[in-house]
Amino acid sequence: MSDDLPEEFDLIVIGTGFVESCVAAAASRIGKNVLHIDANDYYGDVWSSFSLEAFIKLLEQPSNSLRNGSYTWHKSTEQEEQPVTSWTRESLLEKSRRFSLDLSPRVAYCAGSLVQLLIQSNICRYAEFRSLDHVCMLYNEELVSVPCSRSDVFNTKTLTMVEKRLLMKFLTACNDYGEDKCNEDSLAFRGRTFLEYLQAQRVTEKIANCVMQAIAMCDANTSFETGMQRTQRFLGSLGRYGNTPFLFPMYGCGELPQCFCRLCAVYGGIYCLKRSVDDINWTDSELLVSSAGKTLRAKHLVCAPSQLPATLATHFGESEPRISRGLFITSKPLGNEELNKGGGGVNLLRLLAANGEREACLIQLSHYSGACPEGLYILHLTTPAISADPAADLADFAAQLFETHASQILLSAYFTIAAPAAEGIANADTPILCTAGPAYEQDYDAAIENARQIFSQLYANEEFLPRAPDPEEIVVDGEDPSALNEHSLPDDLRAQLQDLEQAAQHMDIAD
Amino acid sequence: MHGRVKVRTTEEERERKKKEQVLKMRAYRAAMTRIQKKRSLSELDDEMLGLTVQILLRNPDINTLWNIRRECVLRKIAELEKTIKENETRDIQKVEEHSEGDKKTDDEKEVDKKEVLAQQLQSIYKTELELTEQCLMVNPKSYNSWHHRCWTLEQNPEADWQREVQLCNKYLKYDERNFHTWDYRRYVSEKASVPPEQELDFCTDKIKVNFSNYSSWHHRSLLLPTLYPNEQQDRPMSEHKLKEELEMVLTAAFTDPNDSSAWFYQRWLLGSGRQSEQSATVAAFRCWPYKAQLSLKSSYPELSQLTVQLVSEQQTLQLQPWKAVNSEKTQWQCEQVIEIEPSRDYFLDVAGQRKQLAVNPNDQSLYYFVPPHATSSCSKELLAELQTQLQSCLDLLEYEPDSKWTLLTSALLMRAIDVNSYHEQSLSHLAKLVQVDALRQGYYKDLSARWTMEMALAKWPTSSNYPQLFEMPTEMSMTPYAHYLIVADKISS
């Protein structure tokens, strides 16, 4: 294969997953010469989103990082008097491209690390989000919305007046935690569990559930400090965008790696998909990447574990099941009408099983997320893998969802996302920096931290993704940078100035 | 450097901004000079309108320019109307001149012409409305823009008020607390005769979004008394609705007790519905052979304007003139020779209110007295709701004994339920408030004095010393309801 790809780079990044794309963008941003390649014909690797057809094909072809795939089509058992639209396998596949099915779905805290990074780097101009409609919890087997904001607490019918006051008081205390005035009260709880603290606040059982399940996202063993920190993270993200503290990327999480790739490309990064790597060798000063009959040279190399050539994969440890995933397409949203106003909510639910020792995260997407056609809903179920059987790992959680709540599942699919156990990045035997695969987490904290670490290892004193200027701030070569460019003025003001200057020509004007 | 993005330094940026500023300033000066010159020449034409637009769009708060625009608009309208009139006169002449056959086609032409003129007129108004709309985008709290909008609509007999209501919806979506918009909404929704039910629903929606909204609570308080009138008029609205409102507002107060808007609305709900009394209501009256004293519940500007008569079977005596004794104008005196025959029945008649008078056994003077604030009764249903609310407050005080608003509210609730049996407890809440909210201790002390005095006055008519001796309940620095005490011969402390 002949192409006119240059052969020498500052950095070659293999794999276009979230972490790799972050590193590629950061390097390109500070002027490094970057080549970003991926063996797949799509962006995002295991962080990508797929059309329905492509998703099914993916499940049929197990890979190193995505395995144990299975799917089942369900016959609509609905015996309703007036089936509005009855969906079939065929009618779903017809709309295949209207789906955006995530392998690694996440929600982002409105003030969390992802949002901060997107704003700080100005990459947010490429991204679009939907504010989550509800954060839910299961209470007495019923799906209820957790009141997040002040107006939620005011409007909710599930809490009594006194409960409302207690919840607000508790949340205010958490919010002020760390400021001097509250230290006295909380000092006693240092080193104890968050649950103990919660109980000492004399809140009712329902409120304790709200806080533990949905707000602090704790279990019985979570320490007081961690619980406080998580509660603060939740509260700190309120009131920024929408009614809940969470955002979901429009058209699926697969959009995010592409936003970073775009910045990388804007700063001169070169992209090449469907380009696998056969082998990687190295000398003291550079790395040699053999790909499609060509040898590419780079000072540094960052690689996704899933795309390492077989010869090197062993250096980074065997790939193991990390995350067990369930994906369901249904024609009926979870929960009541209140939770699904206007044709379905984009909702979040944290589930617990095995006496609270295991947890799973459920994200319900309606067509408002841009990830599926109207009238259909995607349910993403995610839990840390404990076996190589994702369906078994998720059985307890799925039961909580589907046994007590009527649903109309049309397609259920399970798969495992695998990555080498080592969370580390470098291997002493090789100069290759390997990224960590997706971990089970809310938001992208671990992934961003991973990218940051790799970047600082490569370019110790450089800033990680500083703000990229807007087009109008950029000075064209040879232009006087302080000149007032007429075109930089707003259109109406420009027209106004012209008008007035004409009118003023014959007048005496004192400056 | 090749291939590198170059961004302006802050220094360069500042210099650019400065140049831009100078340009803008020149444009502003030029336009203002031109406008003033044109106005002095009375050139109120389209060019003038164009010039003012340019400046108003940047700064909608220059009232002079809005005034000039109004002059321009009025002139344009006057000219148009003149044309219309001229056409009409010509029309009449034509009818006189022409024979039957030609008349029809002329009529059609005339109709067309009229329509064109009417459209021209409407487009004048439309331009003004569009301008204010744009200006309000720049500054949604521009008094001048809102005023100009009202003015324009008032000029136009065919104004589309419904559209204005829609505009309010839109603006209140951007900022649900802009009181300008709420004021304007009241104005246009009346003009558009929006049903009050619909307005109330709108208010409720806005409260649900964010209840820290004085404007919206206020709007409610104006709608509810008309929508759900209370027949006895001792509550602001019907008991059924009042119950719902109380529940809603207490929920808001519990959600965020530091938000004062909800508490103020609640105080209004718990208050007696009577708006400031128009008529003078007699609180106390006393009459000796040489003078009469009259105390009113609330102040009245000039008592001499009312007919005050002392009526008995044998005669009717006009009491006149009255002089205010205190600065609040609640206590009045009339020095006049009055013949009193203690064995007769006397009545006091103030502008039609007739009160029977009693005789003071001590000095044979005539008197009348009614204690302030007779407790208003409420239905079982409302009472139950008040009691539930009080219980919620008391529960909350167990968790937060120092919560200021809860203390005050529970005291108010107690008094709404039963002034007598809760008297001591409500006073103890005020005493606690003096400690926890020392910044407002004067207010609480004053309130405490009022309640104590109300209680003492209410009990007084049943005491053995009535009406000669009134015993002050506690030592007070100022005495509320002092004007009620004209009936007593002696006040002991």
What Cα–Cα distance (Å) separates residue A340 from each residue in A143, A147, A193, A327, A400? 12, 15, 35, 19, 19
Closest residue in B to A490 (Cα–Cα): B20
For residue B449, give every residue at least 6 positions away whose Cβ sits within 8 Å of its Cβ, in sequence order, or none.
B476, B478, B479, B480
Which of residues A361, A394, A421 is at a domain's end? Answer: A421
Residue A185 lies inside a defined structural domain of this protein: yes
What's the pLDDT score for residue A504? 56
Right CATH number for B10-155 from 1.25.40.120, 3.40.50.80, 3.20.20.80, 3.40.220.10? 1.25.40.120
Find tokens 């400065």 and name the residue. Answer: B18
Closest residue in A to B25 (Cα–Cα): A511
Q: What is the mean pLDDT of chain A?
A: 87
What number of residues does chain A have? 511
What's the pLDDT score for residue A344? 84
**Alpha-carbon radius of gyration of chain B:** 34
Fold of the B282-369 domain: Immunoglobulin-like (2.60.40)
Model-level ipTM above the cut of 0.90? no
Residue A377 lies inside a defined structural domain of this protein: yes
Helix axes B63-97, B10-40, angle to 10 degrees: 40
Same domain assignment for residues A348 and A284? no
Q: Kindly state whether A474 is in contact with chain B, defined as any CB-CB distance less than 8 angstroms.
A: yes
Higher pLDDT, A210 or A257: A257
Contact A165 B24 (CB under 8 A): no
Contact A492 B57 (CB under 8 A): yes
Q: Using 50, 70 and 90 to split pLDDT, how confident is the model at B220?
A: very high
**Cα–Cα dist A14/A2, whole Å:** 20
**Percent of chain A topping pLDDT 90:** 54
For residue A419, give every residue at least 6 positions away whose Cβ sits within 8 Å of its Cβ, in sequence order, or none.
A65, A305, A306, A319, A320, A322, A436, A437, A438
Contact B8 A482 (CB under 8 A): yes
Specify burial of residue B227 (Cβ count, 10 A radius: 0-12, 13-18, 19+): middle
Contact B27 A477 (CB under 8 A): no
| Percent of chain B as helix, strand, coil, to the nearest 5 | 60, 10, 30
Q: Are strands A8-14 and A294-303 parallel, antiparallel or unpaired?
A: parallel
Same domain assignment for residues A140 and A24? no
**Percent of chain B topping pLDDT 70:** 93
Specify burial of residue B210 (Cβ count, 10 A radius: 0-12, 13-18, 19+): middle
Residue A2 lies inside a defined structural domain of this protein: no
Q: How far is A105 from chain B, CA to nearest CA, in Å?
A: 30
**What is the domain-level CATH number for residue A71?**
3.30.519.10
For residue B153, give every residue at least 6 positions away whose Cβ sits within 8 Å of its Cβ, in sequence order, or none.
B125, B129, B159, B161, B164, B188, B191
- The DSSP element (H or E) to which A412 belongs, if any, is strand A409-420
Closest residue in B to A168 (Cα–Cα): B255
Find tokens 């009535």 and name the residue. Answer: B466
Same domain assignment for residues A22 and A64? no
Min mean pLDDT across A107-116, A366-375, B293-302 is at B293-302
Higher pLDDT, A342 or A410: A410
Average confidence (pLDDT) over A147-152: 86
**Cα–Cα dist B197/B241, whole Å:** 13
Q: What is the mean pLDDT of chain B?
A: 87
Which residues of chain B have a CB within 8 Å of the CB of A474? Answer: 5-7
Find tokens 């003077």 and name the residue. Answer: B365
Contact B399 A510 (CB under 8 A): no
Number of inter-chain CB pairs under 8 A, A vs B: 112
Same domain assignment for residues A442 and A302? yes
Select from A30, A32, A164, A165 the residue whose CB has the most chain B CBs within 10 Å, as the one to mutate to test that interface.
Answer: A165
Same domain assignment for residues A138 and A205? yes
Specify burial of residue A71 (Cβ count, 10 A radius: 0-12, 13-18, 19+): middle
Higher pLDDT, A353 or B272: A353
Q: Which residues pair with A281 in a beta bridge?
A: A288
Are residues A297 and A11 in contact, defined by beta-carbon separation less than 8 angstroms? no
Query: First and final CA of chain B: distance in angstroms?
Result: 94
Max avg pLDDT among A26-35, A160-169, B406-415 = A26-35
Contact B400 A155 (CB under 8 A): no
| Tokens at A344, concatenated | 């379905």
pTM of the entire predicted model? 0.78
Residue span(s) of chain B under CATH 2.60.40.1130 come to 282-369
Q: Kindly state whether A500 is in contact with chain B, defined as any CB-CB distance less than 8 angstroms.
A: yes
Q: Which residues pair with B350 in a beta bridge?
A: B308, B353
Specify burial of residue B173 (Cβ count, 10 A radius: 0-12, 13-18, 19+): exposed
**What is the domain-level CATH number for residue A148?**
1.10.405.10
Same domain assignment for residues A157 and A193? yes
Q: Which tens digits make up the pLDDT trace of A312-341? A: 877 777 888 999 999 999 998 998 888 888
Closest residue in B to A480 (Cα–Cα): B12
What's the pLDDT score for residue B3? 47
Same domain assignment for residues A233 and A257? no
CATH code 1.25.40 for B161-270: yes
**Cα–Cα dist A170/A172, whole Å:** 5
Residue A150 lies inside a defined structural domain of this protein: yes
Q: How far is B405 from chain A, CA to nearest CA, in Å?
A: 13
Q: How far is B210 from chain A, CA to nearest CA, in Å?
A: 6
Q: How far is B403 from chain A, CA to nearest CA, in Å?
A: 11
- Which of residues 20 through 59 in chain B touch A, CB cutoff 8 A? 20, 22-27, 29-31, 33-34, 37, 51, 54, 57
**Percent of chain B topping pLDDT 90:** 43
Find tokens 């001591």 and name the residue. Answer: B424
Same domain assignment for residues A306 and A430? yes
b/e code B59-81 from CB counts within 10 Å (16+ = b) = ebeeeebbebbbebbeebbeeee
Q: Kindly state whether B413 is in contact with chain A, defined as any CB-CB distance less than 8 angstroms.
A: no
Question: Total domain count for chain A?
Answer: 3
pLDDT at A75 exceeding the cut of 80: no
Residue span(s) of chain B under CATH 1.25.40.120 come to 10-155
Q: Which domain holds residue A69?
A: 52-98+318-421
Same domain assignment for residues A133 and A259? no
Select from B28, B33, B251 the residue whose CB has the most chain A CBs within 10 Å, as the one to mutate to test that interface.
Answer: B251
Residue A479 lies inside a defined structural domain of this protein: no
Average confidence (pLDDT) over B337-345: 85
Same domain assignment for residues A40 and A60? no
CB atoms within 10 A of CB A204: 14
Specify burial of residue B194 (Cβ count, 10 A radius: 0-12, 13-18, 19+): middle
Q: Kindly state whether B177 is in contact with chain A, defined as any CB-CB distance less than 8 angstroms.
A: no
Q: How far is A43 from chain B, CA to nearest CA, in Å?
A: 26
Q: Kindly state whether B246 is in contact with chain A, defined as any CB-CB distance less than 8 angstroms.
A: no
Average confidence (pLDDT) over B292-304: 88
What's the pLDDT score for residue B54? 84
What's the pLDDT score for residue A423? 57
Q: Using 50, 70 and 90 to split pLDDT, how confident is the model at B2?
A: very low
For residue A410, give every residue at least 6 positions away whose Cβ sits within 8 Å of its Cβ, in sequence order, or none.
A73, A74, A76, A87, A89, A92, A329, A330, A331, A376
For A132-187, give the DSSP string: -SEEEEEETTEEEEPP-SHHHHHH-SSS-HHHHHHHHHHHHHHHHBTBHHHHHHHH
Higher pLDDT, A492 or B116: B116
Same domain assignment for residues A312 and A350? no
Which residues of chain A have a CB within 8 Å of the CB of B7? Answer: 469, 473-475
Residue A468 lies inside a defined structural domain of this protein: no
Average confidence (pLDDT) over B199-223: 93
Are residues A382 and A360 in contact, defined by beta-carbon separation less than 8 angstroms? yes
What's the pLDDT score for residue A440? 93
Q: Which tens digits make up the pLDDT trace of B221-255? A: 999 998 998 877 677 888 889 889 988 998 998 88
Residue A268 lies inside a defined structural domain of this protein: yes
pLDDT at B275 exceeding the cut of 60: no
Are residues A220 and A195 in contact, defined by beta-carbon separation less than 8 angstroms? yes
Nearest to B290 by CA among B356, B347, B363: B363
What's the pLDDT score for residue A511? 45
Are residues A255 and A249 in contact, defined by beta-carbon separation less than 8 angstroms? yes
Find tokens 């700063």 and name the residue. Answer: A267
Min mean pLDDT across A250-259, A498-507, B330-339 is at A498-507
Residue A504 lies inside a defined structural domain of this protein: no
Closest residue in B to A153 (Cα–Cα): B255
| Tokens at B275, concatenated | 């708006």
